[in-house]
Amino acid sequence: MRTVPVPAAPNNVVTTPPMGWASWNTFAARIDSNVIRAQVDAIVSSGLKDAGYEYVNIDEGWWQGTRDPAGNITVDTAEWPGGMAAIAAYIHSKGLKAGIYTDAGRDGCGYYYPTGRPAAPGSGSGGHYDRDFLQFSRWGFDFVKVDWCGGYDERLDPQATYTRIGDSIARATAQTGRPMVFAICSWGNGSPWNWGPGLATMWRTSQDIIYHGQSASMDRVLANFGSAQHPTAQSPGHYNDPDMLVVGMPNFTAGQNRTHLALWAISGAPLLAGNNIATMSAETRAILTNREVIAIDQDPLGRQGAKVAEDDTDLQVYGKTLAGTGKRAVLLLNRTGVTADITARWSTLGLTGSVAVRDPWTGTDRGSFATGYTASVPAEQAVLLTVTGAEGSSPGGHTGPIVAG
Ligand code: GLA
């Protein structure tokens, strides 16, 4: 294949954390054109699109590792009429963007861990990087997640491998003119927060938030939130990725759903819904589309909120500096098993004087408070606030300015 020079700043594609939906958490490998189209239609009709959910990401299961004699990927056209270009075109026809999935190694996760289809050897892009990423771009995809099952098994070096993949994506973009969000999925292997910024839009920081066949759990949500704490790695266009959302999945209560979305919002994390959008409840829809919570996540400064205080063991306060003057998002997180009071103190957030407190979930002002604000927080849940005051003389905790790397 013709080699095209890699442009500078190859994969700087977005300026706010990507939002959308991904097929994996609900459907595992059992996806086809009908499944994806039904979700696309629901993303539009439910109002998720209007709330900012944009990428429709086809994950594991679209491809069973087959290629034509020239080495080009082939798919089952009974499942994907018109091939993958047709589903990308359908997604685009609704004003949305299309995402696809592969593996850094020769065999993908569907070979090592079948999830609804027979084990598929060869379902990775190992040995075919330039060909496959150009193919994805020509088909019309705007986003590619690159998993690590084959990479791990083949003992590839994460940084070197993902750098090669980033170069292939940049060459594909140079040929087609279509930029692709590059999502690294090494589950934290190789510490991608040290080299992902500038190479990719987002990098997974941990294992999966939900395993195939298991239920959503707050323990995993909290564990993934904790593993994603690398605030100095984050800047507009480059994000720590604690994984797709389990908001609205079976067994999660409204309080758990709100806590989960609040944790991702204070982190400025990508928001990729993973529930079944076509069947979700009105309550789940209201949570996923809450404008003020989404605005915290999408704040243009792109900061990752960080822990500024721990009132007592596992009673934590996180602060995220928002664009503007004297604005913070604040999260009071109770990691314990009993309801507890947690106090946000303005000094730890770099604020001074009387500070106005707002509840973004209900869109109501709570009043102004002199030194801090105390809320009762249920077990394993969080209270999310936005606050506005005067900047103190020194920035609080990790919420002050971070020079983008
Ligand atoms: C890995 C990834 C998941 C999902 C599955 C698909 O486990 O971390 O997000 O893509 O593979 O098999």
- Which of 297, 319, 346 finishes a domain? 297
Closest by CA to 320, choosing from 377, 385, 382, 270, is: 385
Asked if residue 189 and residue 97 are part of one domain, the reply reads yes
Total residue length of the chain: 405
Asked if residue 312 and residue 240 are part of one domain, the reply reads no
Q: In the sheet where 239-241 sits, what is the strand order?
A: 239-241, 202-204, 181-185, 143-147, 97-103, 55-57, 19-22, 271-273
Closest by CA to 139, choosing from 178, 169, 110, is: 178
State yes or no: pLDDT of 224 exceeds 90.
yes
Q: State the Cα–Cα distance between residues 272 and 262, nearest whole angstrom.
A: 14
Tracing tokens 């095209």 back to the chain, one arrives at 4
pLDDT of residue 405: 29
Q: State the Cα–Cα distance between residues 84 and 182, nearest whole angstrom.
A: 18
Q: State the Cα–Cα distance between residues 234 and 270, nearest whole angstrom.
A: 12
Q: What is the pLDDT of residues 18-58, one digit of tens each?
A: 999 999 999 999 999 999 999 999 999 999 999 999 999 99
* Domain with 143 in it: 2-297
Question: Is 241 an annotated catalytic residue?
Answer: no
Query: How close is the Cα of 352 to the center of ligand 1, in Å?
Result: 45
Asked if residue 355 and residue 226 are part of one domain, the reply reads no
- Cβ-Cβ contacts under 8 Å for 378 (sequence gap 6 or more): 255, 334, 339
Of the candidates 107, 132, 142, 147, the residue annotated as catalytic is: 147
With a 6 Å cutoff on the Cβ, whether 185 touches ligand 1 is yes
Q: Judge whether 283 and 261 are in contact, CB under 8 Å.
A: no
Closest by CA to 301, choosing from 11, 17, 13, 10, is: 17
Q: What is the pLDDT of residues 380-391, one digit of tens each?
A: 999 999 999 999
Q: Judge whether 282 and 291 are in contact, CB under 8 Å.
A: no
pLDDT of residue 393: 79
pLDDT of residue 3: 47
pLDDT above 70 coverage of the chain, percent: 94
Q: Judge whether 139 and 85 are in contact, CB under 8 Å.
A: yes
With a 6 Å cutoff on the Cβ, whether 35 touches ligand 1 is no
Asked if residue 220 and residue 312 are part of one domain, the reply reads no
Question: DSSP strand E in 60-207: where?
Answer: 97-103, 143-147, 181-185, 202-204
Q: What is the pLDDT of residues 173-200, one digit of tens each?
A: 999 999 999 999 999 999 999 999 989 9
Asked if residue 350 and residue 269 are part of one domain, the reply reads no
State yes or no: pLDDT of 6 exceeds 70.
no
Q: Judge whether 216 and 246 are in contact, CB under 8 Å.
A: yes
Mean pLDDT score of the chain, rounded to an integer?
94
pLDDT of residue 11: 62
Q: State the Cα–Cα distance between residues 259 and 366, nearest whole angstrom.
A: 19
Q: What is the mean pLDDT of residues 139-162?
A: 98
Q: State the Cα–Cα distance between residues 35 and 27, nearest whole angstrom.
A: 9
Element (H, E) at 328: strand 327-334
Q: What is the pLDDT of residues 165-180, one digit of tens each?
A: 999 999 999 999 999 9
Asked if residue 34 and residue 7 are part of one domain, the reply reads yes
With a 6 Å cutoff on the Cβ, whether 60 touches ligand 1 is yes
Q: What is the largest CA-CA distance in the chain?
A: 72
CATH number of the domain where residue 226 is located:
3.20.20.70
Q: State the Cα–Cα distance between residues 58 and 272, nearest whole angstrom.
A: 12
Q: What is the pLDDT of residues 266-306, one digit of tens each?
A: 999 999 999 999 999 999 999 999 999 999 999 999 999 99
State yes or no: pLDDT of 149 exceeds 50.
yes
With a 6 Å cutoff on the Cβ, whether 130 touches ligand 1 is no
Query: How close is the Cα of 313 to the center of ligand 1, in Å?
Result: 33
Q: State the Cα–Cα distance between residues 139 and 372, nearest whole angstrom.
A: 53
Asked if residue 205 and residue 150 are part of one domain, the reply reads yes
Q: Judge whether 57 and 49 are in contact, CB under 8 Å.
A: no
pLDDT of residue 363: 98
State yes or no: pLDDT of 395 exceeds 70.
no
pLDDT of residue 76: 98
Query: Would you say the C-alpha torsion 222, 245, 111, 122 has a positive or negative sign?
Result: negative
CATH number of the domain where residue 346 is located:
2.60.40.1180
pLDDT of residue 399: 45
pLDDT of residue 130: 98
Asked if residue 175 and residue 137 are part of one domain, the reply reads yes
pLDDT of residue 8: 41
pLDDT of residue 394: 60
- Which of 297, 321, 354 finishes a domain? 297
With a 6 Å cutoff on the Cβ, whether 62 touches ligand 1 is no
State yes or no: pLDDT of 397 exceeds 90.
no
pTM of the model: 0.95
Of the candidates 208, 311, 314, 359, the residue annotated as catalytic is: 208
DSSP 70-107: TS-B---TTTSTTHHHHHHHHHHHTT-EEEEEEESSSS
Q: Which atom of ligand 1 is nearest to the CA of 187?
A: 8
State yes or no: pLDDT of 356 exceeds 90.
yes
Asked if residue 231 and residue 206 are part of one domain, the reply reads yes
Q: Judge whether 211 and 24 are in contact, CB under 8 Å.
A: no
Asked if residue 320 and residue 290 are part of one domain, the reply reads no
- Which of 249, 268, 297 finishes a domain? 297
6 CB neighbour count, 10 Å cutoff? 15
Asked if residue 287 and residue 315 are part of one domain, the reply reads no
Q: What would you report as the CA-atom Rg of the chain, rounded to the nearest whole angstrom?
A: 21
Tokens of 182: 């590059």
Q: How many domains does the chain have?
A: 2
Q: State the Cα–Cα distance between residues 59 and 24, nearest whole angstrom.
A: 6
Q: Which atom of ligand 1 is nearest to the CA of 59?
A: 10
Q: Are strands 351-359 and 381-391 parallel, antiparallel or unpaired?
A: antiparallel
Tokens of 204: 């997974």
Question: Is 208 an annotated catalytic residue?
Answer: yes
pLDDT of residue 198: 86
Asked if residue 171 and residue 114 are part of one domain, the reply reads yes
Higher pLDDT, 8 or 207: 207
Q: What is the mean pLDDT of residues 346-375?
A: 98
pLDDT above 90 coverage of the chain, percent: 93
pLDDT of residue 345: 98
